[in-house]
Structure 1
Amino acid sequence: MSRRDQYYNKAKQQGYRSRAAYKLKQLDDTANLIDEHATVVDLGAAPGGWLQVAHELAGDEGTVIGVDRQRIKPIDGCETIKGDMTDAETRERLHERIGKADVVLSDMAPNMSGEYSLDHARSIHLARQAFETALAVLAPDGAFVVKVFDGPDLSKFRSDIESEFQYVRAVRPDASRDESSELYLVGKGRLTAPVQVGDELDVEIVDTGHEGDGIAKVDGYTLFVPDTEVGETVRTRIDDVKPNFGFGERME
């Protein structure tokens, strides 16, 4: 039995709406994406296989919302929004419903033309739209998962995601078809700091950390600067950024 038939039959037997449900299960096993009580947004969610799995993982106290231009048959414990995620109105409806999400998922794929370079370019275009939505709705330290087809534009897209998350990895679930070039980029630790690595700025040291490093505040964001004293104003270069704090190097 082919891998495709294996997961297709398994989905039918276990009540999932698509064989893709097992891709999300495997992605979660690999990257620990969805915790209990999480708020999850699934973009391009029809027919709903990923929504079913997301609800299982988030539990009854979680919030799971699917967005798609197609109508999605109701799923217990999940909500849906019928609309195009690229439309401002749809994004506003989503924002009003959830505020911020812990996880944004996208298993969207373009209509296949059979021409590799075109299908790859279209997949990256869809993935970028999902990425823009994720940046708008993700809470600090949130996670993003998006499907892409491997190809020459992947490196630049991955680099863009890496600039917004603590780390990014590429995952190929076992449930993907053998012949498919699809893979999933998984970003974890959404960065929402007001500074970026390489920035140079003057900061006032207002406190001292447990390790003896000076602490400065930048728009409420905590910045640790070694070799500084409380009361100093120093020039620093940002060399590491986390969602809730960062590190700067004192410049002479």
Structure 2
Amino acid sequence: MTRKDEYYNRAKQEGYRSRSAYKLKQLDATANLLHEGATVVDLGAAPGGWLQVAQQEVGEAGTVVGVDRQRIDALDGVETVRGDMTEDATKDEVREIVGEADVVCSDMAPNMTGEYELDHARSVHLVRQALEVALDLLAPGGDFVAKVFDGQDLDDLKADIEPEFEYVREVRPDASRESSSELFLVAKGRLTAPVAEGDTVTVEIVDTGHEGDGIAKVEGYTLFVSGAEAGEEVEVRIDEIKPKYGFAQRVE
């Protein structure tokens, strides 16, 4: 049995609307994307295979929203928005439902022309559109995953995504067709800090952490400063940025 037949038959037997449901299952197993109570936005969600998987994983405490220009048949526990994800009205409708998202995902692919370089370029364009939505919706620490076809623009695409997240990796699920050039970019840990690694700033140490580091705030963002004490005003260099806090060293 070919890989295509295997996952197609499994989807029919297990009640999934598309074989691509197994891609999200495998991406989740690899990158730990979904969890109980999470808020998930699926872009280009029709017919709904990814929505089914997401809803199963986040449970009743979670929120799952599917966005597509095509109609998505109703699914228990899932909200759907019919519209173009690049339009403000659609974004506003999604934001009204979710506020912020923990995961934004996309299994979208362009209409295939059979010209490899053109299909690759169009897939990159779709990822960039999905990324724009993700950066608008994701909470600090949130994750983004999107399908793209391998090709010459992949490295530039990754380079544009990487500064916005802790890291980006390529994942090729087994459920993808053997002949396909598709892969998924998984970006973990949305960064929203007002400072970047290597920056030098002057901060006031307002408290002391459990391990003795000084604590400073930059526009509400927490920095742990080694060797600093509460009440000091010090110049520091940013060494490491995490979604909700960072680490800095005193500049001597």
Q: In 1, Cα distance between the equivalents of 2:182 and 2:217?
A: 43
Segment of structure 1 superposing worse, 237-246 or 153-162: 153-162
The one-letter code sitting in structure 2 at the alignment partner of 1:50 is: W
> What is the DSSP-based 3-state SS (H/G/I as helix, E as strand, rest coil) of the residue aligned with 2:146?
strand
- TM-score normalised by length of structure 1: 0.96
The one-letter code sitting in structure 1 at the alignment partner of 2:116 is: Y
Q: CA deviation at 1:167?
A: 2.2
RMSD of the TM alignment (CA)? 1.2
Q: CA deviation at 1:91?
A: 0.2
Q: In 2, Cα distance between the equivalents of 1:93 and 1:210?
A: 42
Segment of structure 1 superposing worse, 137-146 or 226-235: 226-235
Percent of pairs with identical residues = 69
Q: Which residue of 1 aligns with 2:149?
A: 149
- Residue 165, structure 1, aligned to residue 165, structure 2: yes
> What are the within-5 Å matches in structure 2 for residues 55-66 of structure 1?
55-66=55-66
The one-letter code sitting in structure 1 at the alignment partner of 2:87 is: D
Q: CA deviation at 1:119?
A: 0.9
Name the CA shift for 1:205/1:61 in 2 (closer, same or farther; >3 Å).
closer
> What are the within-5 Å matches in structure 2 for residues 210-229 of structure 1?
210-229=210-229
Q: In 2, Cα distance between the equivalents of 1:51 and 1:210?
A: 41
- TM-score normalised by length of structure 2: 0.96
Q: CA deviation at 1:73?
A: 1.0
Q: Which residue of 2 aligns with 1:201?
A: 201
Q: Which residue of 1 aligns with 2:249?
A: 249
Output one character per residue of 1:69-123: Cα deviation in whole Å (capped at 9) or x when no partner.
Answer: 0011111211110000000110001111110111111000111111111111111
Q: CA deviation at 1:226?
A: 1.6
Q: CA deviation at 1:202?
A: 1.0
The one-letter code sitting in structure 1 at the alignment partner of 2:160 is: D
Q: CA deviation at 1:194?
A: 1.5
Q: CA deviation at 1:65?
A: 0.7
Q: Which residue of 2 aligns with 1:192?
A: 192
> What is the DSSP-based 3-state SS (H/G/I as helix, E as strand, rest coil) of the residue aligned with 2:210?
coil
The one-letter code sitting in structure 2 at the alignment partner of 1:39 is: T
Name the CA shift for 1:230/1:61 in 2 (closer, same or farther; >3 Å).
closer
- Residue 29, structure 1, aligned to residue 38, structure 2: no
Q: In 2, Cα distance between the equivalents of 1:121 and 1:88?
A: 24
Q: CA deviation at 1:228?
A: 2.4
Q: In 2, Cα distance between the equivalents of 1:125 and 1:219?
A: 33
How many aligned positions are there?
A: 252
Structure 2, unaligned stretches of length 5 or more?
Answer: none
Output one character per residue of 1:167-199: Cα deviation in whole Å (capped at 9) or x when no partner.
Answer: 222110000011111111111211121111122
Structure 1, unaligned stretches of length 5 or more?
Answer: none
Q: In 1, Cα distance between the equivalents of 2:38 and 2:13?
A: 27
Segment of structure 1 superposing worse, 155-164 or 39-48: 155-164
Q: CA deviation at 1:162?
A: 1.8
Q: In 1, Cα distance between the equivalents of 2:117 and 2:30?
A: 29
The one-letter code sitting in structure 1 at the alignment partner of 2:11 is: A
